[in-house]
Structure 1
Amino acid sequence: MKISHPDQARPRRQLPPLGSLRVFEAAARHLSFRRAADELAITPTAVSHQIRALEERLGVSLFKRQSRAVQLTRAGAMLFPVVRNALDDIAQTLDSLRPGHARPIVTLSVTRGFAARWLVPRLPGFAATGADIDLHLHASDEPADLHNHGADLAVRYGGGQYPGLSAEYLLSNEFVAVASPWLGPLTSAQLAHTSILAYDWRLQDERTPDWPRWFREAGLTMPKGIRLLQFSDEAHAIQAAIAGQGAVLANRVLVADELRDGTLQALPGPVLRGFDSHLVWPSARDADPALLRVRQWLKNEAAACQLRSPGPPTA
């Protein structure tokens, strides 16, 4: 009896040329034959020919061609993530084989406020873990595109549903009115007669933890003539509160140190429950060792942070 090795029994792969798959992946990522050509240092005509040959080989259309743009067909949308992830895996493995290969890089996307108030002070702790990883920080209030290499990993504030991505809980978020002790004790009613500080929310609805919601939950009407100082950045609004310029509704996680050392005081009134913060990454990279290491470090820091967070203010 002849026993075949499993690899010997595997049917021969019927694959198109790797070059045409690289061209398809670049065109699908950019949704532009011209930008794909620029990236690959070939002409747009060559891109078009390679895509056409691939479509003929597969017997399906991969792009809907329009006058100024291209869009993926259903077949193209199915093929794109498979090719993208395969090419990423090949590139990563080849890099690891080269003598003196570069350290893995993980680009972490967070909001500017989260970066300034929570993440940056903790970055020396990541270096102290001895992880052989270069951590790059992408700080922006616009979400990075994790599907198209805008970042490898992100901290997102939301309900936890992120199509096509994996997510896990990181932090719970509660928003409390805080002010400098220099302003003296302030009741909920007295807040209506002092300066309040606010910052822009990218998306707003009735669940947004902002001053209108705070006054509603306090059973008060927000005065129309209240002195309001608006900031585009959460960290700047918190810094203004530390400087005694007014009260701000702050995420307790981001002002935990100031509440502990007395730089800020929590004011009586409602505590607004916000969405949780989640770690989010491409599902195809669930087992990526560099991402796993960074994710575990962030979860450890978050757990320690919430253990140390001060309790809610008394009414």
Structure 2
Amino acid sequence: MAAFEAAARHLSLTKAAEELNVTTGAVSRSVRTLEEELGSPLFVRRHRAVELTHEGETLAVALHESFERMAVTFRQIKSFGRKANVTIGSTMAMAYLWLMPRMGAFWNSNPDIVVDHVISDHPHGLDRPDVDLRIRYGDGEWPDEQSAKLYDDRIFPVASPAFAKAYPVKTVVDLTQLQLLSIEGIDLTWTTWSEFLNAIHHPNRSTNVRRFNSYVIALQAARSGQGVALGWESLVAPLIEAGNLVRVSDAEIAAPQSYFVTWSARRSLSPHAALLRDWLLSLGSLSSTQASRLPISLEEPSRRRSLKTKESRHGHSR
């Protein structure tokens, strides 16, 4: 059932196998065993994909809700007499560049809460029942989730100081002649150089682009003088302040969508998860520089626990 639920969620036996750390054949055999037990097909097999049958859709919904309730119950039982646990999910770039530098303030003021982290750059990698909170980039609407906007962002070209000095940019044409580092891969929400240039009304088909599927690695390449990356202000502001990166052009655009904190619409957050959510949202009103200079504690714990819950079914549109 776990194999089927993962395959149904991803609509892919291969991606389910990657999540469960087993072979695709093992997932396929598990699904066929379940179909034989039920006496009904659960998937329609295509060449490189699968589609759920009506029976498959019905079972998938029931299993996902059941696994989510089981995960909550397991955590409650495990937490009896122990510290409270909250699990938060995000992409690697968000965790490494935005969340981790700020979490020390929360941990210091809430030593009774253990925050676990699930990191995934796969679009569905955070859709796990054991994840209480998620930091997502999008339009604020995800199936079966409530959301609240964390912040908007801006995007502009960045490079190492040495690279910027060696290859000065005076016009957008100058920029397009340089080695550009682009994020293209699993997550289609990352803005590419083609999209950036189109947004500033300078489409160019002859750019020299190196492609990465990890923003953290692309920024490392930029820091080591290998080219120009698109810097998301919230993520690169501390690197610019530290002198590791510099802006190479005045060109910039507003990020097409926004960052949100999301949580399940089918179950209530624990008081500790709600506290972390409200604390995260309080950071959204700070500038990137202000947030990167957080003191050990933004507020006294007793005051933070009185923050009102800000829940909305679909969050905010961009």
TM band (smaller chain) = 0.5 to 0.7
Which residue pairs with 1:153 in the alignment?
A: 133
Q: Which has the higher contact order (CA 8 A, sep 6+)?
A: 2
Shift of 1:301: 3.0
Which residue pairs with 1:192 in the alignment?
A: 176
* Change over 3 Å in CA distance of 1:80–1:250 after alignment to 2: same
**Alignment identity in percent?**
22
Q: In the TM superposition, what are the counterparts of 1:27-176 in structure 2 within 5 Å? A: 65-66=40-41, 91=74, 94-95=77-78, 98=80, 101-144=81-124, 148-176=128-156
Which residue pairs with 1:276 in the alignment?
A: 258
Q: State the AA in 2 paired with 1:153.
A: L
Q: What is the rounded CA distance, in whole Å, between the counterparts of 1:150 and 1:88 in structure 2?
A: 6
Which residue pairs with 1:179 in the alignment?
A: 159
Q: State the AA in 2 paired with 1:240.
A: A
Q: What is the rounded CA distance, in whole Å, between the counterparts of 1:223 and 1:67 in structure 2?
A: 44
Q: What is the rounded CA distance, in whole Å, between the counterparts of 1:261 and 1:142 in structure 2?
A: 30
* Change over 3 Å in CA distance of 1:303–1:131 after alignment to 2: farther
Show structure 1 runs of 5+ residues with no match. 1-24, 33-43, 53-62, 311-315
Q: Comparing 77-86 with 174-183, which one deviates more in the overlay?
A: 77-86
Equivalent in 239, 243, 246 of residue 224 of structure 2: 243
Shift of 1:65: 3.3
Tell me the secondary structure at the aligned position of residue 82 of structure 2: coil
Contact 1:147 1:282 in 2 (8 A): no
Which residue pairs with 1:301 in the alignment?
A: 283
Shift of 1:86: 5.8
Q: Comparing 253-262 with 79-88, which one deviates more in the overlay?
A: 79-88
Aligned residues: 254
Tell me the secondary structure at the aligned position of residue 283 of structure 2: helix
TM-score normalised by the chain length of structure 1: 0.66
* 1:25-65 residue CA offsets vs partner (Å, 9 max, x unmatched): 98995799xxxxxxxxxxx9xxx9xxx9xxxxxxxxxx773
2:285 corresponds to 1:292: no
Q: What is the rounded CA distance, in whole Å, between the counterparts of 1:135 and 1:73 in structure 2?
A: 35
Q: What is the rounded CA distance, in whole Å, between the counterparts of 1:166 and 1:301 in structure 2?
A: 19
Shift of 1:82: 6.7
* Change over 3 Å in CA distance of 1:305–1:86 after alignment to 2: same
Q: What is the rounded CA distance, in whole Å, between the counterparts of 2:91 and 2:103 in structure 1?
A: 15
TM-score normalised by the chain length of structure 2: 0.66
Shift of 1:152: 2.2
Show structure 2 runs of 5+ residues with no match. 9-29, 45-51, 293-318
Shift of 1:87: 5.1
Shift of 1:288: 1.6
Shift of 1:79: 5.9
Q: What is the rounded CA distance, in whole Å, between the counterparts of 1:26 and 1:308 in structure 2?
A: 44
Q: State the AA in 2 paired with 1:269.
A: A
Shift of 1:176: 1.0
* 1:5-40 residue CA offsets vs partner (Å, 9 max, x unmatched): xxxxxxxxxxxxxxxxxxxx98995799xxxxxxxx
* Change over 3 Å in CA distance of 1:196–1:103 after alignment to 2: same
Contact 1:29 1:148 in 2 (8 A): no
